[in-house]
Structure formats: C-alpha cells, structure tokens
Chains A and B, each alone.
Chain A
Amino acid sequence: MCTRKVLLASLALLWLAGAATAQEGYPLRLGFGTMPPQEELARLFAIPPDGRGLPPGKGTYAQGQKVYADSCAVCHGDKLQGIPTAGIGGDKLIGGRGTLASESPMKTIESYWPHATTLFDYVKRAMPFTAPGSLSDEQVYSVVAYILAEANILPKNATLDASTLPKVTMPNRDGFIADPRPEIELYR
C-alpha cells in the first residue's frame, strides 16, 4: 500500500511538472522578424481617398495626352473606347454616365469609379499592362488628368498633384452601399 501511495504521488508530481511546462509553451510574442528599413517601406504605396501617401510632382492634360498615346492607346483605344476583341482586351475608360440604373449599365472610370485616387493608385501600380510600374509619378498624374478631362470630370487646364487629386469629385461618388446580406427578404 505504501509503495502504491508513493507511486501515485510521484505520478501526480510528474503531471504537475508537465502542466507547468505546457503553460510556458506559447509566448505571446516570439520576437521573430526584423525592423524593416525605412527605405524599403518608402517604396510601398497605396493611396486612399484622402490622398495620404501621394508622391510629389504634378501632371497636366497635355503631358497626359502624350503618355496616353505612347503607353495606353494600344490597349484602351485612341478615344479611350476600349479594345475588347484584341490584344489584352483593354477596358473602355469613359462614357456610360447615367446608365447604371438602366437595362444596359456601362461601368467605366467616368460612370462607376467613386474615387480619383483609385485611378492614380491603379495606374502607378499595375499599368501599362506589359510594363507595370514603369511610369514616373509625373506621368501618372498627367495621364490621370488626361483621362479625367476626357471624361468631362476635370477641365483640360487643370493641374493634378497631391493636394488637388483627392479633391476631385467623381460622378458616382455616392453610388455605393454597404453589403446588407444576409438579405432580410429571404426571411419572410
């Protein structure tokens, strides 16, 4: 009997020791990874509607017309009409205003995009398709000015920069609503 008690006590001690070890198992912070160099973070960008992170520089319609002809027209057409059947099938960029509630809605930058900052971000990020990220910030500001003027959103004499771009009001600025799902109509 006595040896059995000792055995049980030893087992209990072993169990307690095991539990204590397990509690040390997962520190809340592990310290892996390093502090990123500031110059590496500076190369990253994403431009929200308030324009935070927009680079220095400025652009004009005239400069943008040249950038568009050189880098964009091959896919999006010389009149920004899109080329759906050849090349990469570039989207139509302008037109379609007032069609969103119709039988044939036409979604373009002019008719659908709610923020001009998105256009800057996307062109700088991913355009032109075959050489993404190759345009200078001045070229991006310029081609955005060109597209927005062709869309009758900006006058052709407008200059775009970090302070004026976020102030552009897009026609469909208030065209979006929060996702209401699950749809209450399905619970009637």
Chain B
Amino acid sequence: MHDEDDLGGYSEKIKREIKARIEVERVTLARRREELENCPCQEGMFPRPGRRSVLFAAGSALAASMGASIQAARAAVQKAPAGAVWRDVPDDPTKVPGTPLGEDGGYGSRSQFESEVRWRFLTPTRLSSWTMTPLDKSEGIITPSGLHFERHHAGIPTIDPARHFLYVHGLTERARKFSMADLRRFPSVSRLHFIECSGNGLTEWRKPTLKTVQGTHGLLSISEWTGVQFSTIAREVGLKEGAAWALAEGADAAVMTRSIPLEKLLTDAIIAYAQNGEALRPEQGYPLRLILPGWEGNTHIKWLRRLELSDKPFMTREETSKYTDLLASGKARQFSFTMEAKSVITFPSGEMKLPGAGFYEVTGLAWSGRGRIARVEVSADGGKKWQLAALQDPVLPICATRFRFPWFWNGEPVVLQSRAADETGYVQPTLKQLVDIRGLAGPFGSVYHLNAIQSWGIANDGSVSNVHA
C-alpha cells in the first residue's frame, strides 16, 4: 500500500486519482483473496470460485423442492457475475438433464464461475471515466467485446441506428450523408487491430504504482473490426485540392472531436460498424466508429457522425490541452499519434503467486502501431540476458501478438521482463531511456505514450509484484 508520504509532491487532484485507482485494486484484490481462502485450490496459481459454489451445490436439492424457477430468478439477480446467469449446480451433471436450449433467449452468456470484469477508474463522476481490461486473465489475442477497455467523456450515448448518419463534407466535390444502410452496402474489410489509450501506464513513470497488469496495461484491447475503408468513401465524395486533414466528430454528449491527417485516413482507416462478428457494443461506439490502426485510442472516434475535410487541423481541446506530451523543457509534443512497440508479460504478473519452483510457461502480449511484431525476448535476470520467446500465430500488422516462453524457476527472487521489437527494427525501450529523453516533470512525467519494458519481481515465496528494475 502507498501511504500519504509516497504521494508527496503530487497535486490534490492527482493524489486523489492515484488513491482512487489504488482503492479499486485493493477492493478487487481483497475480494479475490477472500475467494482464495474459501478455495480448495489454494495452492493453485489463480483464485477460483471455491466453497461458494460448493455451498450452492449443496442447496440445489432444496431449490428443486421450493420451485426452481423462483430460486433461479432470485439467484440470477443475487449471485451471477456480470455477463452470466446463475443456475443451480448439480452434484453430478451426468445424472440430471441440463438447461433447455433457448433459455438464454438466443444470446449466450458466460459461465457463472467466471467473474473477471473491467475495473473503473474512480473518477468523481461515472460519466467521464475509464475502465481497464483484465489482461491477467487474457488468453490468445482477442479481447471479449464485453471486456474491451473504455474511455468516455460524457457517458455512453444511446443511438438509434435508423436515425444515425455520417456526414462527409468540407473540401469535397460532393458532400454526402450516409445512412447505416448506405454504409453497409459499400465493400467492406475485416481486420484485427489493437486499440491502446496513450494514457496506458501513466501512473508508472515515477514508481511502480498499480499492482496488477490490469492496472498497468489494461487500457489495451484487441478486436476484429469490420467496416468501410475511408479510401472507398473518399472516392465517393471526391477529395478537393488542398484537403490535408479531416475532423472526426462523435455523437456523444462530449461531441468528441479530433483532427486526423488525410494521409492516415487514406492509408488504413476503417469506418467500422462491427466488432468481433457482431455490431459494435454501445460503449465501443455503436453504431459507427473510426478505426485508425496503431494510433492512440482517443483518435478512434466513437459514435462517429461526421468527417469534415479541411486544409489544416482544427486544434480541438483533445489535441491541444489533452493528448499532448509535456516535456521537461516546457514544450509539448503535439499530434503524437503512433503507439510504439510495447509488450508485457501477463503470466506471471502482479499479485499472482507461483506455487513453487519448477516449470512455468511465461506468456504475454506484444504490439506495435508501426506494423508486425518481429520478435519478443524475455529476461529472467532484470534485463542482463535475453532469450527469444516463441510468437504464437497469427502475427498480424498493428495487432497484438501472443508470445510464450518456457521457464524453470529455481525458487530464488528474480525479475521477469519482456522486450518487443517490431518489423521496422524499433526496440521497446527501458523506462530510463524514455525518462532520459522526455524528462519527468510533474507526477506523471509526460503522461502519455509510456511504452517501456515492464518488470515483474518474483519473491522467494512466489509472490509477483510490480517493480522498477
């Protein structure tokens, strides 16, 4: 835990924000520990639902006698984790029929035994806040849509797609208004890309602040996005001489705006209406979102309602007062769009506990906004020696790549790290390298674009913690 002294020198607002995030972790971790204490699998690496489910199993005979549907309804309200439906657990699932088909109304839910959720950063209002993806539980590369991180500035709008339009205008030959039906008629593409908030890890510049990989790296998620390429729309409207930027604007109560260089839009931008095989989730921009592969999350404008072509950027609030990177010199970098190569070990990671010396498969994610991941190396000695990890197919451009590394822990304290390189030859830097270049003025340094190597310390007893090494 961090006490008051650890936060000395921070402004009141920053102190409050750090404390809030620490508190979210504390509550979540306390709940996990409680589950673990009740768990017959205490020696395992992860807390799993334990006695709680056993107790419900014991009560199932009673439930049958008092009307299963009433019991189920009550239990569903009271006990099911978010995204799940509670069902009584039989002693032996081979001796009773299971749930009839169609009980879910035709749209499935996850197991009642799976409870990982996004954490919300405890900002004063729930209307402007963010949530983080539980990367410690991530498998493969796809983030379930319901666990995709969020950042909203004025709540999640409810938008009827029949009344939603995309205007493309400004320096165009033919301004156009597209309905959702119009957009779905255009030729489409589906691509897997990560989205990362450029504020991911901002608490980690000065010292290890948050305990888990969800806290340090959870503003990263990966989805398959489907929609129309901007280049297709560009021919439709006809770009005028001088067009060099476009304002992308959302239909939320913040009416979010960012200026985007035309070159990027014509390179790989997607006007997306689908995510992971279904329509976008409301919190991911339903019914329409701009996808700018490899660029900071804030530019992927959700609830996209217009693109205005212009000769210059508009200098909106989000690209001047926010999302600019203040250096020690007092000057700030502007339009720092690209998310550079980065990686993190998701297992083992902060607040996990290894049950003892022996074999472990170290695994994690690596990604770059400039292209494919070329290699990931793992160090088990704080960065002195590095060994190549295996990259799990598929290795896609501007997408996360899962890496795996066989490792024998000898039971001694070690520092585990991963280091990614992308196909441009860019190598993920150390925190010291970044601080040497950008300085460390203010509690969060230059705030954005921290893509440094992450260190996880493993103690004698197998407990894993966030360290700077």
Contacts and interface: CB of A to CB of B under 8 A. Distances in A.
Are A and B subunits of one complex? yes
Interface of A: 26, 28-36, 40-41, 44, 46-50, 82, 84-89, 100-107, 109, 112-115, 117-118, 121-122, 125-126, 129, 132-133, 175-183, 185-186
Interface stretch (B317-325, B345-353, B389-397): B317-325
Q: Which secondary structure dominates where chain A touches chain B?
A: loop
A35 B176 contact: yes
Contacts of A186: 426-427, 429, 433, 437
B315 interface: yes
Contacts of A48: 310, 312-315
B36 interface: no
Contacts of A84: 11-13, 16, 124
A75 to B, nearest CB: 9
A104 B427 contact: no
Interface stretch (B133-141, B180-188, B216-224): B180-188
A127 to B, nearest CB: 10
B255 A41 contact: no
B24 to A, nearest CB: 16
B335 A179 contact: yes
Contact of A34 (B16, B127, B177): B177
Q: Which secondary structure dominates where chain B touches chain A?
A: loop
A185 B167 contact: no
Contacts of A100: 326, 330, 332
Nearest to A87: B124
Nearest to A108: B321
B306 A30 contact: no
B330 A176 contact: no
Interface residues of B, number: 69
Contact of A176 (B255, B331, B436): B331
B249 interface: yes
Interface of B: 9, 11-13, 16, 123-125, 127-128, 153-154, 167, 169, 174-179, 182-183, 185-187, 235-236, 247, 249, 253-255, 257, 306, 308, 310, 312-317, 320-321, 324-326, 328-338, 340, 424, 426-427, 429, 433, 436-437, 441-442, 449
* Residue among B127, B179, B185, B333 facing the most chain A CB atoms (10 A cut-off): B333
Contact of A179 (B175, B336, B426): B336
B451 to A, nearest CB: 10
Contact of A46 (B185, B247, B333, B436): B247
Given A35-B175, A115-B315, 13 more contacts: A26-B187, A32-B183, A41-B167, A84-B13, A86-B124, A88-B124, A106-B11, A121-B316, A129-B128, A177-B331, A181-B333, A185-B433, A186-B437
A36 B235 CA distance: 17
Contacts, number: 180
Contacts of B337: 179
Contacts of A104: 9, 11, 441-442
Contacts of A117: 315
A48 B320 CA distance: 12
Contacts of B236: 29-33
Contact of A33 (B123, B176, B424): B176
Given A89-B124, A126-B154, A182-B340, A40 B167 contact: yes
A89 B124 CA distance: 6
A176 to B, nearest CB: 4
Contacts of B179: 33
Contact of B315 (A35, A107, A114, A126): A114
Contact of A109 (B11, B185, B321, B333): B321
A121 B175 CA distance: 23
Contacts of B429: 186
A117 B151 CA distance: 25
Nearest to A48: B314
A185 B335 CA distance: 20
Nearest to B181: A32
Contacts of B427: 186
B253 A132 contact: yes
Contacts of B9: 103-104
B243 to A, nearest CB: 14
B13 A82 contact: yes
Contact of A181 (B177, B185, B324, B340): B340
A181 B235 contact: no
B124 A35 contact: no
A125 B253 CA distance: 8
A46 B331 contact: no
B37 to A, nearest CB: 35
B315 A36 contact: no
B304 to A, nearest CB: 13
Contacts of A176: 320, 324, 331-334
A175 to B, nearest CB: 6
A185 B436 contact: yes
Given A44-B249, A126-B253, A177 B332 contact: yes
A183 to B, nearest CB: 5
Nearest to B256: A126
- In the complex, the 4 A-B pairs of residues with the closest C-beta atoms, listed nearest first: A101-B330, A84-B13, A89-B124, A36-B177
Contacts of B306: 44
A87 B128 CA distance: 11
B387 to A, nearest CB: 22
Contacts of A36: 167, 169, 175-177
A29 B13 CA distance: 52
